Structure 1
Amino acid sequence: MQKTSYLKELVIKNTHEKNGANNSKKETEKIQSLLNLFSIANPNSGTGTSIDGDFGPATEKAVKNFQKIKNAAQTGVVNQNLFDLLALPIKKAFEDPIQGSNLRELIVNTAKNHLQNNPFELIIHQQGNSGPWVRSYMDGKEGSDWLWCMGFVQTIIDQASSIQGKNFKSLMPLTYSCDTVGVKGIEKHLLTRYQAARSNPSVIKPGDIFLIQKSNLDWMHTGIVIDVNGDTIETIEGNTNSMGSSNGNAVANKIRNFKTSKIDFFSIAPLV
Structure 2
Amino acid sequence: MARAHRAYRERPLLGCAPAHLARLLRWVQLMSPIRPLPPVISCARGAKGAHVKRIQEWLTLRGYGVALDGDFGPATERALAMFCAAGAAASWNGVADEIVVNALERPMLDAVADVRPVPDDLRSAVCDVAAQHLREHPREVGGQNRGPWVRLYMDGREGKDWKWCAGFVWYVLAQAAKQLGVPMPLKPSYSCSTFVERNRGGRFLPGESPQLVRRGDVFFVRRAGDDAGYQHTGIVVDVQPDHVVTIEGNTNDEGSREGYEVCRRVRAYGRLDFLSIAG
TM-score bucket (shorter structure)? 0.7 to 0.9
Residue 220 of structure 2 corresponds to: 211
* Larger mean Cα displacement after TM superposition, 74-83 or 202-211: 74-83
Alignment-derived partner of residue 191 in structure 2: 177
The alignment status of 1:230 with 2:241, answered yes or no, reads: yes
Per-residue deviation at 1:156? 0.5
**Where do residues 238-253 of structure 1 align in structure 2 (5 Å cutoff)?**
238-253=249-264
CA distance in 2, matches of 1:3, 1:234: 27
Contact 1:150 1:175 in 2 (8 A): yes
Cα drift, residue 189 of structure 1: 2.8
Match of 2:104 in 1: 86
Which of 147, 152, 170 is the aligned partner of 1:136? 152
Deviation at 1:24, TM superposition (A): 3.3
- Report the equivalent of 2:85: 68
| 1:114 aligned partner | 133
TM-score, normalised to structure 2, is 0.83
SS at match of 2:231: strand
> Does the 8 Å contact 1:213/1:263 carry over to 2?
yes
User: Between Structure 1 and Structure 2, how many residues are aligned?
Assistant: 245
Distance 2:194 2:165 in 1: 13
**Which residue number in structure 2 is paired with residue 49 of structure 1?**
66
Please tell me whether the aligned partners of residues 115 and 132 of structure 2 are also in contact (alpha carbons under 8 angstroms).
no
- Partner secondary structure for residue 122 of structure 1: coil
How far has the Cα of 1:74 moved from its partner? 3.5
CA contact (8 A) 1:228 1:234 kept: yes
Contact 2:236 2:246 in 1 (8 A): yes
Matched residue type, 1:16 = C
What letter matches 1:176 in structure 2?
Y
- In structure 1, the partner of 2:37 is 7
**How far, CA to CA, are the matches of 1:250 and 1:26 in structure 2?**
22
Q: In the aligned structure 1, how far is the partner of 2:65 from the partner of 2:35?
A: 25
5+ long unaligned stretches in structure 1: 40-46
Larger helix proportion of the pair: 1
Structure 2 residue 275 is matched with structure 1 residue 266: yes
TM-score (norm 1): 0.85
What amino acid is the match of 2:265?
K
How far 1:119 moved relative to its partner?
0.7
Aligned residue type for 2:205: T
CA–CA distance in structure 1, aligned partners of residues 272 and 115 of structure 2: 31
Q: How big is the shift at 1:87?
A: 1.1
Map residues 93-108 of structure 1 onto 2, 5 A cutoff: 93-98=111-116, 99-108=118-127
Question: 1:203 corresponds to which letter in structure 2?
Answer: L
Matched AA of 1:242: D
How far apart are residue 76 of structure 1 and its match?
4.3
Cα displacement (A) at 1:216: 6.3
Q: Distance in 2 between matches of 1:55 and 1:226?
A: 42
1:128 aligns to what SS in structure 2?
Answer: coil
Report if the CA contact (8 A) 1:35-1:63 is conserved: yes
| Residues 1:26 and 2:26 are matched in the alignment | no
- Residue 37 of structure 1 pairs with residue 61 of structure 2: yes
Aligned pair in 2 of structure 1 residues 239, 143: CA closer, same or farther (>3 Å)? same
Tell me the equivalent position of 1:43. none
Does the CA contact (< 8 Å) of 1:208 and 1:267 recur in 2? yes
Which residue number corresponds to residue 44 of structure 1?
A: none
1:182 to partner: Cα distance: 1.4
Amino acid at match of 2:123: R
